[in-house]
Amino acid sequence: MYTVFSTFNVPDEKAGEVIGIYKNRSKSVDEAPGFVDFLLLQNDKRAGELTVQLTFDTKENYLSWVRSEDFKRIHDLEKKYPDQELAAVIPKVSQYKVVAR
């Protein structure tokens, strides 16, 4: 398996808004070949620190998703988000292969 974490910070008062966006996400990634799971994590001590966790069965399937038209479309929409402070957020992305369970 292959897991990717995208961690980003938003103002604490906007965390609920961002969580709402993810609760209503398009879910197109769920249909991607090899998709296993999606989680949105919120730091227990810093409400504005959020992490998207995506898990795929292989790195190759994850990379196929990243290169897909759906991925590009979704991320282009993020750049056009009306709240420019949120649209300008750049996540720190970390990628891991699962080596033990």
Is the pLDDT at 88 greater than 80? The verdict is no
What integer is the mean pLDDT of 58-83?
87
pTM: 0.89
| Upper half-sphere CA count for residue 33 (Cβ side, 13 Å) | 8
**Given its phi and psi angles, is residue 79 left (phi above 0), alpha (psi -120 to 50 degrees) or beta?**
alpha
Name the pLDDT band for 92 (thresholds 50, 70, 90): very high
* pLDDT tens for each residue of 21-68: 899 988 999 999 999 999 999 999 999 999 999 999 999 999 999 999
User: What's the confidence (pLDDT) of residue 96?
Assistant: 98
